[in-house]
Amino acid sequence: MIEIQNLTKTYAGKVQALRDINMTIGAGMFGLVGPNGAGKTTLMRIIAGLLRPSGGIVHVFGHDMQTADGKHAAKSVLGYLPQELGLYPNLTGREFLDYIAILKGVTDSQQRRQQIENLLETTRLDDVADRRLKTYSGGMKRRIGIAQAMLGDPKLLIVDEPTVGLDPEERVRIRNLLSDMASHCTVILSTHIIEDISHSCNDLAIINKGQVFFRGKPGDMIGLTQGKVWNIVTSGERPNNGLIVVSTLQVQDGVQYRVLGTPDEAYHATAITPSLEDSYIWLMHEAQQDQPVNTAKPVSA
Ligand SMILES: Nc1ncnc2c1ncn2[C@@H]1O[C@H](COP(=O)(O)OP(=O)(O)O)[C@@H](O)[C@H]1O
Ligand SMILES: [Mg+2]
């Protein structure tokens, strides 16, 4: 369990990256979703104990991240995959994992070998384990990154935008891999791709400009746009009157628009079932009006 209370972070140069974040993250897969610059990496690095907050409290499995002891204890139970993992290009996959395992304090060589073989198998890198990292594809690099984060058998796995720049097949593979991990440890996954979470997360937060705009289950998020998503067909003119156009499709009798909002009767709109993406777009729109829809309540310690 991760508890975050009144967390703020202001970088030197006065960028306010996090503004009063309050939330509790439980077991399973947690999605942290938001556009570039929202504060995702900042929040993850603070949870991982790699960055000091400007204010507020973070507890990771009961360990207070403000104290050196707490940080030390938490670090031994967490694995982290940064957005940009520096790899050693001339090491092979297996050598790299061995090296990281030693750094993580897995000193028993038998135990180390066992863990590495298991992880190479789960990440499906056993075939390329003896190839140098510089020959790995983007997806393989991301998978070895997940493998190194899982060394030492962490209870918390933090992965920062693991699907960026991957082809759809690799993205699916990474998502499945993380879902498997989430069955026996807490996984916090950040992404700006809504598809990444729609399939795998049971819990999520939408963050924008350092604030949490939604906190809950994907189903609850979809519920927010119930009755607000419509199809409109026109001869070509774009619907306006405060409607948000989500997509446009050429159809036989004109142009079909998927819109969010409350269309005028004159449009003869047809109600449709909202998707998670509709809800995300709606929330981001609300965020731009600076009206949090469902901010988390402070957590009692
Ligand atoms: N080291 C830093 N110094 C100053 N500003 C930073 C630093 N790192 C991030 N920022 C700023 O903080 C905000 C949040 O960044 P970040 O946490 O990286 O967001 P995300 O991961 O969601 O893209 C952005 O405005 C970014 O420019
Ligand atoms: Mg980031």
The predicted structure's pLDDT at residue 76: 86
Residue 39 CB–ligand 1 contact under 6 Å: yes
Work out how many domains the chain is built from and give that number. 2
The predicted structure's pLDDT at residue 197: 87
The model's pTM is 0.89
Tell me the ligand closest to 45's alpha carbon: 1
Q: Which atom of ligand 1 is nearest to the CA of 18?
A: 14
Range of the domain at 255: 227-273
The closest of 105, 88, 72 to 145, measured between CA atoms, is 88
Residue nearest atom 17 of ligand 1, based on CA coordinates? 39
Query: In terms of domains, do 77 and 105 share one?
Result: yes
Query: In terms of domains, do 163 and 265 share one?
Result: no
Residue to substitute in 8, 11, 54 for testing ligand 1 pocket (most ligand atoms within 8 angstroms of CB): 11
Cα(47) to centroid(ligand 2), Å: 14
The predicted structure's pLDDT at residue 188: 96
Residues forming beta bridges with residue 256, ordered by sequence position: 233, 249
* 256 and 231 Cβ atoms separated by less than 8 Å: yes
Sheet holding 203-208, edge to edge: 78-81, 156-160, 186-191, 29-33, 203-208, 211-216
The predicted structure's pLDDT at residue 129: 97
Query: In terms of domains, do 90 and 108 share one?
Result: yes
Query: In terms of domains, do 211 and 257 share one?
Result: no
Residue 37 CB–ligand 1 contact under 6 Å: yes
Single-letter residue type at 145: G
The count of other CB atoms within 10 Å of the CB of residue 49 is: 21
Residue with tokens 């297996």, as numbered in its chain: 94
Residue 13 CB–ligand 1 contact under 6 Å: yes
Question: CA–CA separation, 228 vs 51, rounded Å?
Answer: 40
Is residue 294 domain-resident? no
Residues forming beta bridges with residue 250, ordered by sequence position: 255
Query: In terms of domains, do 116 and 233 share one?
Result: no
Query: In terms of domains, do 134 and 231 share one?
Result: no
Is residue 222 domain-resident? no
Query: In terms of domains, do 78 and 126 share one?
Result: yes
The predicted structure's pLDDT at residue 296: 44
Q: Which residues of the chain have pLDDT under 50?
A: 292, 294-301
pLDDT, tens only, 199-225: 789 899 999 999 999 999 999 999 999
Residue 231 CB–ligand 1 contact under 6 Å: no
Question: CA–CA separation, 3 vs 24, rounded Å?
Answer: 5
Q: Which atom of ligand 1 is nearest to the CA of 210?
A: 14
Residues forming beta bridges with residue 234, ordered by sequence position: 255
The predicted structure's pLDDT at residue 259: 95
List phi, psi (to 5°) of 86.
-75, 115
Residue 38 CB–ligand 1 contact under 6 Å: yes
The predicted structure's pLDDT at residue 223: 93
Is residue 40 domain-resident? yes
* Cβ-count burial 137-166 (b if 16+ within 10 Å, e if not): eebbbbbbbbbbbbbbebbbbbbbbbbeeb
Is residue 293 domain-resident? no
The predicted structure's pLDDT at residue 290: 62
The predicted structure's pLDDT at residue 118: 94
The predicted structure's pLDDT at residue 253: 87
The predicted structure's pLDDT at residue 199: 74
Query: In terms of domains, do 47 and 98 share one?
Result: yes
SS3 272: coil
The CATH number of whichever domain residue 121 belongs to comes to 3.40.50.300
Residue nearest atom 6 of ligand 1, based on CA coordinates? 11
Q: Which atom of ligand 1 is nearest to the CA of 42?
A: 17
Domain boundary among 217, 241, 259: 217
Is residue 287 domain-resident? no
